[in-house]
Structure 1
């Protein structure tokens, strides 16, 4: 069979991309070398753009259920700590961390406009990667995505019209190939993407294990004379980072981590006599930080860790990859269906590369403050003081949460919403903006009193829905055009009538209007 898009890698990023492609009308196959979801402990939280993206596709109930189960594990850990003589203090409300320095939600500026207007997603964040992957696997099946597990990509040929992918399960043909196959991406290497960056300073381990002697360990992040560690927030979870230059003998991901290796690292960093009895899950990683110079070469594109690698501190990796998938999916589907020119794909690198570069620097800064030398610890103390203020905590939380993200848009009218994630406005019928984005189309929202022609988007009706309503927000625009990824492509003030600006935005993001207006749903 031949597909519109072949996705290499069936983790959360590959599955999210596949779902977006199917919503856009593209045929897609996902090739995943693992036969089951990887049980190794990985990312444990989602940021605001990620939760917004999933909410806009109708997945909020599933996220709430997963978070409830995750919170039960956190509470079990705290009960165990109390029962074994560990710290009994009630920790502050968690809002993230920077370089292992905790951020308290009690210090957030509740009046900051970037942290308000987010709708029902506000309380969602603690969603482990494996559970997210399960949610996306179910959604992909519902949408008709073909997922082939136990199939590994071994090569490909791009002839300019089609990509022939060779795999352990035979050849697969597609018009496009997207590598979502992780930091050691086969697709990236075979395609010849440049991947510059910085070498590692640490070797770190994150594990869930049965251990003895942990009652003397601190809860949460702790800096020590030999590194940094984190204990909890679920039973048996430990993370340790030792500054050894990413020792090659330990940093090889293909070599299994033994109980002896993990125990040696825990003892070295914590200074304790912890005994590791049995490992349930463990991963070894470094702070190797690299980014592809472009996310597209010919008919091959990259997303997620295939496009950028960095340390996981601050929980940015999974979220960065999901943002790639949401940005790329609708654009590639539009090109596949002939609704947009190939040039639309150039906006993928242009919009996502700066976000990736920021994440790499954000993680590098944390490594600099985690170093055990005197100069780094002095700088760490200064930052810790800043984190103890409302202004400092609000700044760091806004950065970690991703609410600062904005794309530079062609023909930007100067409206403050353009290029940003659309607010989750509540409409007069009680619905919210996200409720109208489940189908993966764009959306033109026109306030009842807007001077804009109600038929302005008729020529794009198969790609853009139209909603005429009242918005229950005093500072809402008179009309706004929202892309399928939830980004505002155009907006006008209530007393304006920028029909030309809307027409340009529609053609830029959704292609030329159809000869015959489509019927709007």
Structure 2
């Protein structure tokens, strides 16, 4: 039996990126439905690294409340192309610069928040068709009880690298073919003491292994002598054993592998992240070689950038001017991630001729400026929204670091003030009243907060986007025009 469901926003894909978009929409009062083909969150080992900007963004909305290690202080050791010595730091009072959190756990955290905000999560709903017209997007899905049809004002495709939304909606993409492929397995070691640990480079490739105390672990092998494998070829434990043995030059006995997967350095970036009423986010929009664990964090950045803009379009009819900034701001970020991961893969190739270059990079990583630059790129802390900065005050586009302000309610932090997911105008009690009065014309869409004592960033007033980036300061004019672009005419 066919069911027809109408909603304001349909989100295809219930992984972390899709669940984040849905939770953010629900927080802002938007009716949303998540369509996910899987019956439950997968426990398979996938991405487990969240970098600093993603951690900071999630913390500002309270998604990481109660998660262990969030408050871990100080620079966190990392690597660049497998070369140790890169320290990734976050500003003082921010959460940890690197958080290890299983993708499945993050997905469940976000799903619980989405459901709490009234989002409908429909599992075992496999999307088979997507079309759009001037007013709505139309989605067909296969369910255990038959077919279902959904209509929505907007649709977000967060359905992974093999995105049905991307293919059905006609998104073009720029790609580069695979040159190597790797195997990953969640395995049990016959002799845990013989399992390799950490990053192992040989003249034939790399093995990266994280053994656990119970004799299991996740092992990855990258064989540069073998070339790219057929993506349709199903990985086997025998193939994993053979590849690890070849690269290491010794056998690593493994008795079982509950989960195996294959990945490569194939890259794809959609030429547009928006086509009409359809948007792409996460792996549906961009995929790359997963060195450095940047894929999940990049998708989280997509979700925070996109959700509040769609919510504004739904609630106020703000339309194309704001929605178009999603592509303009996020596609360059994805392209830069692809560029950096390809550079790292080039350094990882076991050609002896690259040894002097690797040694040079090892020395460069000890320099504070180099480490800060590369750490900022990997952690996305150097990424700033570009739209509108050429007409705004100094510093606009920066991510406002964690700090405390004295408000009418007492001491409140940036994290506490952004918890509601609304744009935030901070204005000084003595000198910012005129800006507060202008912003109140868009109440309750914009939250205004009076600050006592020191002026925020030495300004009479400043406007924060819901995703934490500085959009405007009183050093510039044009506040009403900016809010009009975001939310339509004053009310």
TM-score by length of 2: 0.90
Question: Which shifted more, 25-34 or 349-358?
Answer: 25-34
Tell me whether 1:8 sits opposite 2:12 in the alignment. yes
**Alpha-carbon contact 2:64-2:70 (below 8 Å) kept:** no
Match of 2:62 in 1: 58
Kindly provide the CA deviation profile for residues 323-367 of structure 1, in whole angstroms up to 9, marking residues without a partner as x: 111111111111122341222111010000100000001110111
Q: 1:173 aligns with which of 148, 151, 166?
A: 151
Kindly provide the CA deviation profile for residues 161-218 of structure 1, in whole angstroms up to 9, marking residues without a partner as x: 1122111022112122211100011111111211212111221122221113553555
Match of 1:304 in 2: 282
Matches within 5 A, 1:3-402: 3-64=7-68, 94-105=76-87, 115-117=90-92, 119-122=93-96, 125-169=99-143, 170-213=148-191, 215-216=193-194, 218-232=196-210, 234-235=212-213, 236-243=217-224, 247-249=228-230, 251-252=231-232, 256-402=234-380
Q: 2:486 aligns with which of 509, 512, 517?
A: 509
Structure 1 or 2: larger strand share? 2
CA drift at 1:483: 1.0
Match of 1:488 in 2: 470
CA drift at 1:474: 8.2
CA drift at 1:295: 0.6
CA drift at 1:393: 2.4
Question: Which shifted more, 433-442 or 134-143?
Answer: 433-442
**Alpha-carbon contact 1:23-1:439 (below 8 Å) kept:** yes
Kindly provide the CA deviation profile for residues 457-480 of structure 1, in whole angstroms up to 9, marking residues without a partner as x: 111112110001136688543321
Q: 1:409 to 1:374 in 2, by over 3 A?
A: same
**Alpha-carbon contact 1:425-1:472 (below 8 Å) kept:** no
Local SS of the residue matching 2:304: helix
**Alpha-carbon contact 1:51-1:124 (below 8 Å) kept:** yes
TM-score by length of 1: 0.85
> How far, CA to CA, are the matches of 1:267 and 1:208 in structure 2?
16
Local SS of the residue matching 1:337: helix
**Alpha-carbon contact 1:154-1:168 (below 8 Å) kept:** yes
Q: 2:419 aligns with which of 430, 438, 444?
A: 438
**Alpha-carbon contact 1:48-1:403 (below 8 Å) kept:** yes
> How far, CA to CA, are the matches of 1:245 and 1:414 in structure 2?
52
Q: 1:214 to 1:186 in 2, by over 3 A?
A: same
**Alpha-carbon contact 2:347-2:354 (below 8 Å) kept:** yes
Q: 1:67 to 1:414 in 2, by over 3 A?
A: closer
Kindly provide the CA deviation profile for residues 29-84 of structure 1, in whole angstroms up to 9, marking residues without a partner as x: 1111111111221111211221122112122323337899xxxxxxxxxxxxxxxx
Q: 1:99 to 1:233 in 2, by over 3 A?
A: farther
**Alpha-carbon contact 1:419-1:487 (below 8 Å) kept:** yes
Question: Which shifted more, 39-48 or 449-458?
Answer: 449-458
> How far, CA to CA, are the matches of 2:366 and 2:185 in structure 1?
30
> How far, CA to CA, are the matches of 2:105 and 2:391 in structure 1?
41
Kindly provide the CA deviation profile for residues 412-450 of structure 1, in whole angstroms up to 9, marking residues without a partner as x: 455343112122220122220110112211100012332
CA drift at 1:290: 0.9
Q: 1:455 to 1:261 in 2, by over 3 A?
A: same
Stretches of structure 1 that go unaligned for 5 or more consecutive residues are: 69-91, 515-521
CA drift at 1:244: 5.0
Q: 1:282 to 1:93 in 2, by over 3 A?
A: farther
Kindly provide the CA deviation profile for residues 250-276 of structure 1, in whole angstroms up to 9, marking residues without a partner as x: x33xx5432111111211222221111
Question: In the comparison of the two structures, how many residue pairs are matched?
Answer: 475
Aligned CA RMSD, in angstroms, stands at 2.4
Q: 1:452 to 1:246 in 2, by over 3 A?
A: farther
> How far, CA to CA, are the matches of 1:471 and 1:357 in structure 2?
42
> How far, CA to CA, are the matches of 2:382 and 2:241 in structure 1?
40
**Alpha-carbon contact 1:180-1:306 (below 8 Å) kept:** yes
Question: Which shifted more, 405-414 or 199-208?
Answer: 405-414
> How far, CA to CA, are the matches of 1:490 and 1:246 in structure 2?
50
Match of 1:86 in 2: none
Tell me whether 1:464 sits opposite 2:441 in the alignment. no
> How far, CA to CA, are the matches of 1:226 and 1:172 in structure 2?
51
**Alpha-carbon contact 2:428-2:456 (below 8 Å) kept:** no
> How far, CA to CA, are the matches of 1:23 and 1:131 in structure 2?
20
> How far, CA to CA, are the matches of 1:182 and 1:335 in structure 2?
25
> How far, CA to CA, are the matches of 1:141 and 1:65 in structure 2?
25
